[in-house]
A and B are shown apart, each in its own frame.
Chain A
Amino acid sequence: MRAMVWRRFRKHKPALIGLIVIATFIALCIAVPLITNYDPGKTHLDIMREAPTAAHIFGTDELGRDMFVRLWDGGRISILIGVATMLIAITIGTLIGAIAGFYGGNIDNILMRFTDFMLSIPQLFLLLIFAQLLRSTNNPAISGGPMPIILIIGVLVWPPVARLVRGQFLSLKAKEFVEAAKMSGARNFRIILRHVLPNAASPIIVAATLRVGAAIITESTLSFLGFGVQPPTATWGNMLKNAQAQMTYAPWTAIFPGLAILFTVLSLNYIGDGLRDALDPHHVE
């Protein structure tokens, strides 16, 4: 099975390129801050806003920090937020969707009305209010770091996942193998975990891939609006916020973090696309 998926995935050229790009970015995020001579946080007021040169290939920012090193240092946090948020959203979404789809009836009704409710308030509005709530505590331990941002994005973006999983569960629970498992006396919990969930795994995996990218964009938007991770910790989002004030005369401070986000999310979207094709049992080659 795994070999077949990989064989099909490899045929999807954009997805394969996306995978290579992501792998390269992750390697750079790990390696660059470790092996460089530049401290990503140290300020050098004698080399502020220098255009890209051989010494600083992506230029320097308003405090003379090397943009190349800072970009990969910030990428660690941005990618971490993307992955962690995805894990939270997928867990909550799968749990709610699975219970709603499998049990149906009133449970389904209540959970889905709750999902509708979550979707009825513009997400960005809720994110900003929650971020403001955290910020107003003035407690440095819970405001400004990546952890609270991960939590608020994670607990707010699960509704589409829940809808997707519910749909899968609704159609799968009518299948014969689920009936057979019920007949043989398996308990509901076991049926959900062993029989239904593995069959619903493909769309969940695809959704998870896309969620990572979406979360990276959400983090960058929040940080850009000043409600996300606070400096001196770098993320791609707050690097862009810094850049906004100076982008007309130091455009490189705005270009590179944005390109990093674009290529990361684009690659993840292509990987998701490739996985969708590769995991689809009805796919014809």
Chain B
Amino acid sequence: MTQYILRRIIQAIPLLLVISFSVFLLMNLIPGGPLAAYENNPNITPEDLARLKTELGLDAPIHVRYWNWLTAVVRGDWGISQITRRPALTEIAEKLPNTLYLSLIAFFFALIISLPIGIISATRQYSWFDHFATTVAFIGQSMPVFWFGLVLIIIFNATLKHPNGGPFLPGGGMFTIGADFSLDDRLSHLILPASVLTFFSLGTHIRYMRAGMLDVLHQDYIRTAYAKGQHERAVLLNHALKNSVLPLVTIIGLEIPGLFAGAVITETIFSWPGMGRLFFNSIERGDYAVMMGILMMSATLIVAFGLITDIVYAFLDPRIRFD
């Protein structure tokens, strides 16, 4: 097992190197490259640009620059944001917790809602409940996330009124600016963006859970359990549930990239001060260092989660061999 884990980690390193080199190349394709933010600045003359280029070592060959960049990244020097003039790493580290806070809550709700729905759907296949659940799942997968967010804002922010006269729920931000901390305020700001993200992954979760459960229900050992005279409840809880959770581990791994996309969209609509919105803004403004930092960090997280999923899967499923 230890060997298996070590091998998988070693395999991930070249992948990360290839990703980092491609990201680096891609960023340099953008006209103006790392100096893109300065190109439209009227206070900066072409002479200044040329001087900056030499000073920052940008006229060196690409592989030299890549090596310099990579070693700096490993040391924790992610460059300086051209917009705020603060270290990119600080910028990102400041926004990441807000994204995690929002995504983890949404993820948790998506999980605890989809688990029972998927199980009931599978055990009562083709019942009205199953039809209803699969329809909801289909709708969830067929709707642009941002549009669902807009509709929620129209309903809960623009139309419905709170007893105190204001909108029923705030339409953006993480808390009321200037107000003292209050749990009520935090929660009311959380409800809409968290609902959007939850609904975003709910459809996929329900379908996976249902399919996983259906698969398990057709296995021989389930028939055996019934044949032994066990009640349906016992069969489901003791035999089926444990085995049907396996595919769920896979989705969690598969969903990490999707969470980043969801974060960009949700955070942009609801002005949530997270990493997704930071990435969006950094692209709009050509903030090279922040863009690179977020790209590298998200790719590393995706590879790491892929690795963790595989390892957890290997732990849970004794049929997987490590050689």
Q: A124 near B261 (CB under 8 angstroms)?
A: yes
Check A240/B142 contact, CB under 8 A, given A117-B15, A123-B257, A247-B154. Answer: no
In A213-260, which residues have CB < 8 Å from any B CB? 213, 217, 220-221, 224-226, 237, 240, 243-244, 247-249, 251, 254-255, 258
Q: B22 near A117 (CB under 8 angstroms)?
A: yes
Q: B299 near A120 (CB under 8 angstroms)?
A: yes
Give A269 to B295 CA distance when docked, in angstroms: 31
Q: Which of B24-32, B47-55, B98-106, B229-237 contacts A (4 or more CB under 8 A)?
A: B24-32
Give A148 to B93 CA distance when docked, in angstroms: 34
Choose from B261, B284, B291 the contact partner of A122 (Cβ within 8 Å). Answer: B261
For A125, what are the chain B residues with a Cβ–Cβ distance below 8 Å? 260-261, 264, 279, 294-295, 298
Choose from A116, A128, A254, A266 the contact partner of B154 (Cβ within 8 Å). Answer: A254
Check A224/B146 contact, CB under 8 A, given A128-B280, A136-B31. Answer: yes
Q: B150 near A269 (CB under 8 angstroms)?
A: no
For B89, what are the chain A residues with a Cβ–Cβ distance below 8 Å? none
Complex: chain B residue closest to A240, CB-CB: B147
Q: B158 near A221 (CB under 8 angstroms)?
A: no
Q: B30 near A136 (CB under 8 angstroms)?
A: yes
Complex: chain A residue closest to B265, CB-CB: A221
Q: B15 near A258 (CB under 8 angstroms)?
A: no
Give A136 to B151 CA distance when docked, in angstroms: 32
Choose from A113, A116, A123, A221 the contact partner of B146 (Cβ within 8 Å). Answer: A221
Q: A113 near B268 (CB under 8 angstroms)?
A: no
For A248, what are the chain B residues with a Cβ–Cβ distance below 8 Å? 153-154, 157-158
Give A258 to B152 CA distance when docked, in angstroms: 13
Check A269/B138 contact, CB under 8 A, given A240-B150, A247-B158. Answer: yes
Give A159 to B118 CA distance when docked, in angstroms: 28
Give A255 to B158 CA distance when docked, in angstroms: 14
The residue in A121, A132, A137, A213 that gathers the most chain B C-beta atoms within 10 A of its C-beta is A121
Q: A119 near B144 (CB under 8 angstroms)?
A: no
For B141, what are the chain A residues with a Cβ–Cβ distance below 8 Å? 269
In A148-199, which residues have CB < 8 Å from any B CB? none
For A217, what are the chain B residues with a Cβ–Cβ distance below 8 Å? 142, 144
Give A249 to B265 CA distance when docked, in angstroms: 22
Give A273 to B141 CA distance when docked, in angstroms: 13
How close is B32's CB to chain A, nearest CB, in angstroms? 8
Complex: chain B residue closest to A257, CB-CB: B147
Give A249 to B154 CA distance when docked, in angstroms: 9
Choose from A124, A254, A265 the contact partner of B150 (Cβ within 8 Å). Answer: A254
A interface size (C-beta, 8 A): 42
How close is B201's CB to chain A, nearest CB, in angstroms? 15
Give A129 to B15 CA distance when docked, in angstroms: 21
A261 contacts chain B at the CB level, 8 A cutoff: yes
Choose from A128, A247, A261, A273 the contact partner of B144 (Cβ within 8 Å). Answer: A261
A270 contacts chain B at the CB level, 8 A cutoff: yes
Q: A262 near B139 (CB under 8 angstroms)?
A: yes
Give A248 to B36 CA distance when docked, in angstroms: 36
Give A151 to B260 CA distance when docked, in angstroms: 22
For B306, what are the chain A residues with a Cβ–Cβ distance below 8 Å? 120
B314 contacts chain A at the CB level, 8 A cutoff: no
Complex: chain B residue closest to A224, CB-CB: B146
Choose from B18, B29, B36, B158 the contact partner of A117 (Cβ within 8 Å). Answer: B18
For A255, what are the chain B residues with a Cβ–Cβ distance below 8 Å? 151, 154
Q: B145 near A221 (CB under 8 angstroms)?
A: yes
Q: A132 near B30 (CB under 8 angstroms)?
A: yes
Residues of B participating in the A interface, judged by any CB pair closer than 8 Å? 15, 18-19, 22-23, 26, 29-32, 36, 138-139, 141-147, 150-151, 153-154, 157-158, 257, 260-261, 264-265, 268-269, 279-280, 283-284, 291, 294-295, 298-299, 302-303, 306
* Extra contacts besides A125-B294, A240-B147, A261-B147 (7): CB < 8 Å: A122-B302, A123-B257, A133-B31, A221-B265, A224-B265, A251-B154, A266-B138
Residues of A participating in the B interface, judged by any CB pair closer than 8 Å? 113, 116-117, 119-125, 128-129, 132-133, 136-137, 213, 217, 220-221, 224-226, 237, 240, 243-244, 247-249, 251, 254-255, 258, 261-262, 265-266, 268-270, 273
Pairs of residues from A and B, 6 with the lowest C-beta to C-beta distance, nearest first? A248-B158, A124-B261, A258-B147, A122-B260, A266-B142, A265-B142
| 23 A-B residue pairings within 8 Å (CB atoms) | A117-B15, A117-B19, A117-B22, A119-B257, A120-B306, A122-B261, A123-B261, A124-B260, A125-B279, A128-B283, A132-B30, A133-B30, A136-B32, A220-B146, A220-B147, A221-B144, A226-B284, A240-B144, A240-B150, A249-B158, A251-B158, A262-B143, A269-B138
